[in-house]
Amino acid sequence: MTITIAANSVPKPPADIIEGFRNAPTSIISDNLGRLPGAVGLKPYHRSGRLIGAAFTVRTRPGDNLTIHRALELVGPGDVIVVDGGGDETRALVGEIMKNIAQWRKAEGYVIDGAIRDVAAFAGDDFPCFARAVIHRGPYKNGPGEINVPVTIGGSVISPGDIVVGDEDGVVSFPAAGAAALLEAVRLQIKREDDTLKAIREGRYQGSYGKS
């Protein structure tokens, strides 16, 4: 069945902007995005490490990974493979081999609104993978699907080229436009929270955190 490729690649945000978010907690990024929900229901399955990069999006029929295989021929350094599998948990879309292909292509990691398998391979590696569930049952390979179109991941709309950040708390994403201002706001909140923690340790805390 048909696989529609809207673009073989998408423009990436400036590298310095992406790097600026590398150590920014997703919770603080989310706070500065109006505390909207982001991707709900996804969990990290890798050993450790943060996810940061630009979205390379895939929409596939639930339980079918043909389009992901096609996408793996196109991804490269800096790409986060974002897969809209409709939240289906009955068949795994990605396993150990597809993890290794993505690593070989120098992609940054996976975000999958669906299931994975070979979970031990992910748990023993620092290659980031966020997914909804684990199941042993394999996928169909019939299509259809779309590549580099806007997708929905756990209630969050992600467009090709959006910045994607993932850590132990989950995954957030946002357009490159406005990212510089967002980064500044995130840095200011990190400093405020560091100052609050210091005040607590030193016995100077006055209850200011509950007012922010």
Q: Determine the Cα–Cα distance for residues 101 and 180; give it in Å rounded to an integer.
A: 32
Specify if 19 maps to a domain.
no
CB 108 within 8 A of CB 52: yes
pLDDT of residue 77: 96
Domain of 53 in residue numbering reads as 37-174
Check residue 53 and give its pLDDT: 97
Residue ranges for the known binding site are 95-98, 117-118
Asked, for residue 7, whether it belongs to a domain, the answer is no
Name the average pLDDT for the chain: 94
Q: For position 211, what pLDDT does the model report?
A: 61
Distance CA 172, CA 33 (A): 9
**CATH code, 44:** 3.50.30.40
For residue 57, what pLDDT band results from cuts at 50, 70 and 90? very high
Phi and psi, residue 74, nearest 5°: -115, -25
Q: Which residues sit in the known binding site for Mg(2+)?
A: 118
Q: What angle do CA 151, 102, 104 make, to 5 degrees?
A: 155
Position 115 in a domain: yes
Lowest mean pLDDT among 160-169, 189-198, 199-208: 199-208
- Is residue 108 domain-resident? yes
The total of structural domains in the chain comes to 1
Question: For the segment 95-116, what is each residue's pLDDT rounded down to a tens digit?
Answer: 999 999 999 999 999 999 999 9
Element (H, E) at 171: strand 170-174
Residue 136 lies in a domain: yes
Residue 114 lies in a domain: yes
In a domain, 146, yes or no: yes
Q: Is 207 inside a domain boundary?
A: no
Question: Residue type at 90?
Answer: T
- Tens of pLDDT, residue by residue over 130-160, are 999 999 999 999 999 999 999 999 999 999 9
- Tell me 81's DSSP state: E
Tell me the binding residues for substrate: 95-98, 117
